[in-house]
Amino acid sequence: MDFRWDLIISSLPMLLTGAKLTVQLTAVSVFFGIILGTLTGMLRISKTPFRFIAAIYIDVIRGTPLLVQTFIIFYGLPSLIQRPIPAYFAAVLALSINSGAYVGEIVRAGIQSLDKGQWEAAASLGMSGYQTMKHIILPQAFRRILPPLGNEFIALLKDSSLVSVIALEELVRKGQVIIGRTFRPFEIWFAVAVIFFVMTFIVSRFVDLLERRVTRHA
């Protein structure tokens, strides 16, 4: 059976539309994941009772598959709240919650990697814990956690393919639709794989560039 390049070319507009939604889902989810993860990471090392809640959240999310989390949100929650949840909202919620747990551990490790003497020096200057965290600790931690944050973005970009199971027409779902029409799985999955590779390659190069720029201005 011949490899049909013409089928890939004719399918590109539809696949790129799905890729656009994949990137959008990932970007929105990582944005909320970073916010949630930063708060979780700081709570994780705090001395408040909330650190136990943060630890449970991280352990549960990291210990269960993203696919199951997506099913719980899209199929399970509607039975509790007695109303359906839009697929896009369910996907963003599942990806954000999943990303937040991993980002939380990244932030925690980044903060704890800094010298504890900086906290003492800031306290001797009369700075509060909030001021120390905002102006001294987090800026330095950000430079250290930038590479793993980039890796998290790439991982989530690939994991976003799982939301195809709730009929959200991102890249993988678009590929499934085209295969259902053409019965040519090899060409379409090959094209999907190439598009994913291009997206992750671009992101990784951007993270490398950003890391060098941040390091240069440190």
Q: Domains in the chain: how many in total?
A: 1
Express the helix, strand and coil content of the chain in percent, nearest 5 each.
85, 0, 15
Each residue's pLDDT tens digit, 42-84: 999 888 899 999 999 999 999 999 999 999 999 999 999 889 9
How far is residue 89 from each of residues 19, 38, 85, 93, 182, measured CA to CA in Å?
18, 22, 7, 6, 30
Give residue 43's domain range. 5-216
In degrees, rounded to 5, the angle at the alpha carbon of residue 163 between the alpha carbons of residues 206 and 202 is 15
Q: What whole-number distance in Å separates Cα of residue 88 and Cα of residue 86?
A: 6
Each residue's pLDDT tens digit, 134-159: 888 888 888 888 889 989 999 999 99
The average pLDDT across 158-162 equals: 93
Residue 94: closest CA among 69, 119, 77 = 69
CATH code of the domain containing 208: 1.10.3720.10
The mean of the pLDDT values for the chain is 91
99 pLDDT tier (thresholds 50, 70, 90):
very high
1 pLDDT tier (thresholds 50, 70, 90):
low
The average pLDDT across 33-44 equals: 94
Q: What whole-number distance in Å separates Cα of residue 69 and Cα of residue 78?
A: 14
Residue 158: closest CA among 193, 210, 205, 202 = 193
